[in-house]
Amino acid sequence: MKTLKSFVYWLILLTFTIIGIWIIPVLVRKVTVEPDNYPFIYYSSVVRELCIIDYSKKQAPVKEINGKTYTTEAQADSVLPLLKYRQLLADGRLPDSIHGHEITVQKIHAKSVNYRFIPSQVGSPQPGLYILYEAMPKRVGMESPGDVFRLNKTIEFIDIKSNLVNEEKSSLFQKALQKEGFHFPAQWVNGDMNPRKPYDEGYFILDTAGQLFQMKMVNGQPFVRNTKAGSQIDVAWFDMLEVADKRFYGFLYDKAGNAYIIGNEDGKYGLLRLGIEPLDLKKDQMTIMGNMLYWTVAVSREKGKDYYGLEMESLKRLSEYHVKKEADKWDKASSWLFPFYLTFEDRNSDYLIPRLHRTGYQAFIVNGILALLLVLLVKRPRNRKIKDGI
């Protein structure tokens, strides 16, 4: 019994120490965490440089990264016409052209690109069922097809109302995929299931051989094409983005973390690499604000944030800027309080998994001193034996 008691005692202690390593830092983090305070930076099409924008700083709302400042809001708006076009339009100051490029509101809208990549998109739990809209609908707007498909060892369309497989449609698409050389099962299926979009380009599917296929439904018939991107790069992930000018289908990532846009050039799929440093697809976040002349790309990494100004046509890098991450209250508190801590949630993944984080050696010193004080100051209870226990 003594052995069992001792064993269970240590088991309880170990179990709840592990839980404590998780729950106490969670509570401290709730009290101390602050948002990352990175500046908003945009590539100016007028001065052709990255500019730091903060309209709360009345004396310098816009500052180029080389130091030149613009001291009034009106000046700042003029330096960023493709970002502040609504204000300039209201003031009657929208320019007709910028460096020889004609500017109209229609062109600004048509070429506008807003995109965000977050690591939790990659490898997060997938529903396993997808909605394939008609790519050329007779009426404006996306109409629900009334079925969903799954893509495992074969493709199956399931009628929603009856919850039964539509054998005819499934067979049609199965043959189309096989004809194009698709190797089942799919590694992943990516598209945009949101019906609120101007058009539908179906799904991009990575087969087991690493080849990337596009599949959509045109007038009820399957359209399947091998993009051949898998022959050019080691495909890791694809993110669909339906842009107004249909310039490209979305963003493609290879296993080295390089980002590309994949578009249609004369009936063939073409890749164009973004002129930025490779991403860590498990940790880095990327946002793109693109206009008709330039793209501003911001990549949040572990140690800071990188900003890039890219030329819109070629996506070549024109400028870059780095902002180092500053330790917030949580970083400072955790490095002094916890030599290590456990988390189960992670902003970069939707899966709950235990992850151990190490902080700094100073927490060992602090905890060592606290343990010593506890031993010296707290009286140990005397062992009292009860004669008539049981």
What residue ranges bind other proteins (CB under 8 A)?
Answer: 1, 4-5, 7-9, 11-12, 15-16, 19-20, 23, 124-131, 144, 146, 148, 150, 158, 160-161, 163, 193-194, 344-345, 350-354, 384, 386, 388-390
Residue closer to other proteins, measured from CB, 174 or 211:
174
Q: How far is the CB of 15 from other proteins (least distance, A)?
A: 6
Q: What is the token pair recorded at 265? A: 């050039």
Q: How far is the CB of 13 from other proteins (least distance, A)?
A: 10
According to DSSP H, which parts of 57-120 are helical? 73-79, 85-91, 105-110
Q: How far is the CB of 372 from other proteins (least distance, A)?
A: 23
Q: How far is the CB of 186 from other proteins (least distance, A)?
A: 14
Residue closer to other proteins, measured from CB, 130 or 308:
130
SS3 annotation, 144-188: CCCEEEEECCCEEEEECCCCEECHHHHHHHHHHHHHCCCCCCCCE
Distance, CA of 138 to CA of 333 (rounded, Å): 60
Query: 261: which strand partners?
Result: 251, 272
Distance, CA of 209 to CA of 206 (rounded, Å): 8
Residue closer to other proteins, measured from CB, 19 or 209:
19
Residue closer to other proteins, measured from CB, 27 or 376:
27
CB 308 within 8 A of CB 44: no
DSSP 298-355: EEE-SSEEEEEEEETTT--EEEEEEEEPPP-HHHHHHHHH-SEEEES-BTTBSS---E
Residue closer to other proteins, measured from CB, 149 or 249:
149
Residue closer to other proteins, measured from CB, 14 or 105:
14
Q: How far is the CB of 204 from other proteins (least distance, A)?
A: 18
According to DSSP H, which parts of 33-84 are helical? 73-79
Distance, CA of 225 to CA of 333 (rounded, Å): 54
Residue closer to other proteins, measured from CB, 234 or 345:
345
Q: How far is the CB of 302 from other proteins (least distance, A)?
A: 23
Q: How far is the CB of 219 from other proteins (least distance, A)?
A: 21
The answer to whether the Cα torsion of 57, 63, 68, 74 is positive or negative is negative
